[in-house]
Each structure stands twice: as structure tokens, then as C-alpha cells.
Chain A
């Protein structure tokens, strides 16, 4: 029996989350793993937006910034539990995405690219400038999620690194499960249809701008939650999380691995998260490498590494 894409993806992720720690040379790798999962989550949102709805955002880090700073600010100023702060960040991101996306998604594809670029820059400008609230470029402390303590009381004693590794791993699996549910549902079919032929999609009754807007909002929530998880595990966050380069990283990760495949995009996230950790000179060349990857993949391997590889491997099926 052949596995569906959904089961295959989820099983691969599960196997990776559980088995990888057996090979970790040091506990530092729990942290690297957790970062991979967080980036994987953000990039899964890009798959929905770019891979399936065919829209491009160059400002998704802005939403990650909102999610992250919600966790830094809401517990302190509103007395919210950090878990609720994650939710608050997601709601704010969704509302902003809706407001920004609504007029723009009626227009041609590059308009969203430009508008989201501007949006991202605006968010990071606010985070840098509003020192009274955000403490500016130096960053701000983030409250503890408190879940590790609860687990400990319940008899499961994990190190901080281990806890965040598994917590982010399972969050990613949940995110991937949602995305793959969409893929096979009527909504997913409509998304792929509009990607195939927008005109035909409209004539079969698909409200194209509305559907694109839904994809944009959902992907913004993914980025926001990823930003929250990043802030919570680091217990500290700087405005860099909302910076333009972070947006570019998200796009590049998705594009490298395969922007229309969840597992592909997560693979891309893994590669580009790992690289700077193993190659210390990478920071110097980051922009060069990201730029090159974007250009080369788009010209020579438009589907991305993983789908191209799978196609070779299994013959002509997706």
C-alpha cells in the first residue's frame, strides 16, 4: 500500500523528531533542532501562501516580530499568561494580514511582494524606534512559558534544551498536519486551481481574492506563532526577528526545499538553519549565498530540491 503525502510527511517528521536526538554529539544540538522546527513552522506557512496560492510575501518576518513581541510585552503589560500571549500575537497578525492583504490581493502578484516588504520594514521600524515599549534594538526579556515546570511536577524532567526541542518538534507536526489537511480539502483544491489558471478558477465560482486573502492570513499566523516560539525559547528577543533578512531567509528556505511541498520546505529550513551553525564563516557570506540560492533554484530547479529529487526517484508522480 502506498502512503498518502500527508501520512508520509507526518511519519517522516515524527521519525526525525524522535530519532535525531540519538545521534546528537552534544546537548547543543537540541537547540539547533528546536530552531529548525521553528523555522520549519514559519516556512510551512510560506508553502500555503507561495506554493499553493502562488503569492509572494517579502515581509513575513513582520508577523514573526508581532508574535515574538506579543510574548515579550503582553505578559508584562497586560498580565496575560505567555500561552495566551501567543494567541494574542496570532490574532493581531491575522487582523493586520487581513487589513493589508484585502486591497492588494485583487491586484497582480508583485503588488503583494512590494506591500509586504513595506509592511515588514514598518514593523521592524516600530520595534526599533519605540524604545519606551520595546527597549529598542538591544532587545527585551521574555517571560517563561512555564510548561516545563508543569511537566517536571508531573514527573517528566527534561532539560531546557530537550523541552524546547520536543515542544517545537510537536508544534511543527501539528502545523504540518493543518497544512496538509488544507491541501487535500476543497479549500486546498481551490488554491491549487487558482495557481493553475486564475481565469478558470474564477469561472468555476472561486472567489480568487478572498481565497488568496485566506492563504495570506493563515500564513501570517504560522509566522506569528513561529516568532512566539522563538521568543519563548530564547527568553529574549531583538527586533532582528522582524528584519528584512529574516523575511528573505523564510522565502529562501521554502524555495530551496520546494515551495509547494511541506516536507520539502521544512528540509530547506533545516539546511539553512544548520549551515550557519556548522560553518562559522557563513555569516559573512549569508547574503551572497541566500541570493544565489534564490536565483539558481528559480532558474534551474523551479520545484525545489526535494520534489525534484522525489520525482527522479519515483518516476513521474508528485
Chain B
């Protein structure tokens, strides 16, 4: 396997449990104990009701492509071999939106509202990326 040159996420104190979950192939998000809403990225208070009572909760890992773009320009040398590649805003069924890549299909096969599910991609011992693949119809 060739050397991994792409940016490797640097977890913060707040996001460490998220990355720990991904390593165990779980897509975890903060969920409010008071109003039951999920949010991302993690922060100290529930953005909906500002409760500080919340729990890291495993999501379904399923959602839809809210929007996507296709990079043709190289903004980072490690992606020079990848262009054109797609980056998506994925909306989980639980509500939160996140950036990711949709794998297993060429960019021109993507569409908004396409159903996707999480696909785990380990890149280091510590870090596994949450990517997405289309759900078979």
C-alpha cells in the first residue's frame, strides 16, 4: 500500500469519541437527552435547546445526498490523481449534515436526494473515515 498523503483528521477533545466510534465502525453523534435532536459537529451544548445533557449515540448511518460538487481543480497535491472527484453534503436520517465522499460510483452518476449509507474506510490505526455509498434501490 502506497503512503497515505491526504490530510489526516486531527481529533479535538470534543470530537475524539466520534473518531473512536468510527474505528469500531459506528457513526456516533451527540444526541440531546432533553429534546432528542442529533447534531454535528460535536459541541458542548445542544444547538437546538442548549441542554448540556446529551449522549453519544449510534446513528443508522443512512441518509441522502443533500448536495454535491465535483472537484476538477487540485487544491491539495494528494488529490491530484483523484480529480475529478465528488464531495457531498450528506444528510443523515437523524438530521445532521456532514461532508464526505460518495464511493463506488462515478461523479456523473450522483444526484441530489440519492439515498446513501455509511462505508468505513480505515486510513491509519487511529482514524477511520466515514464515507458513503449509494443504497441499492
On whether the two chains bind one another, the answer is no
Which residues of A come within 8 Å of B, CB atoms?
Answer: none
Which residues of B come within 8 Å of A, CB atoms?
Answer: none
